Amino acid sequence: MDWDDYGKIVFNNSRAYFHFLGDAAWRVKNVRGAIDVVLQTKQERLSVLGGTRLNFRMGFRFTFSPRISFYGTVGGEKKNRLLSNSKGLIFPVRWHEPFGLAITESLYFGCPVFGTPYGSLPEIVTKDVGYLSNHKNDLSQAITHAADFDKRKCHEYAAEYFNARRMAECYIEKYESVLNGNSLNPKPPALVEIQKEKFLAWN
């Protein structure tokens, strides 16, 4: 990420809701799960970035609760403003997420991540910056303690490890190693597990 595109981050502002960030019509992203996590709390709210209240692409689905707000596709200053006022990202994906830019963007804005332990999430979301579980009750309980996470630590982690310069330097290092006749891996990479289910476990 080129963090210069994201403006100044405020850490001591009042944050009023959690957010979901992704294509809500793509069922593996599990916006329904994110909504359920929030609605199981007494008063938390959710802003859905990337979805609409009335959705035909997922079959007729209408979200009635006034605690859930929808912003459709957002970007630029509007997205930055919404992330700046969020308590955390709720990201209960039901597939092996390859990386998840929503994760690093949210962390950069000081938002801890509450998601499922699939794909890249266990590598990216450490215990210092979030909580992972495929049980909505666990995530509902966890988000009520979102204030226990250090917003500045979330930001610094994303800024240091997921910036464009670091990525470019790491690529150059790999290219140089290959050009010098070295192998990047002691043995060829192999798929650890083939996902046979359409949707990974969520309960």
Tokens of 77: 């200053």
CA distance 95 to 74: 23
Over residues 106-134, the pLDDT tens digits come to 999 999 999 999 999 999 999 999 999 99
Concatenating the DSSP letter of every residue in 30-92 gives: -HHHHHHHHHTSSS--EEEET--SEESBTBSEE---TTEEE--S--HHHHHHHHHTEEEEEE-
pLDDT of residue 54: 67
Domain layout of the chain by residue ranges? 3-160
pTM for this prediction: 0.90
Over residues 48-57, the pLDDT tens digits come to 999 776 665 6
Is the pLDDT assigned to residue 11 strictly greater than 60? yes
Residue located via tokens 């917003």:
151
CA 99 to each of CA 87, 154, 178: distance values in angstroms, whole numbers, following the listed order: 21, 17, 24
> How would residue 196 be classed by pLDDT, with cut points 50, 70 and 90?
confident
> How would residue 63 be classed by pLDDT, with cut points 50, 70 and 90?
confident
Backbone angles phi, psi at 90, to 5 degrees: -105, 120
**CATH class, 3-160 region:** alpha beta
Number of Cβ within a 10 Å radius of residue 8: 6
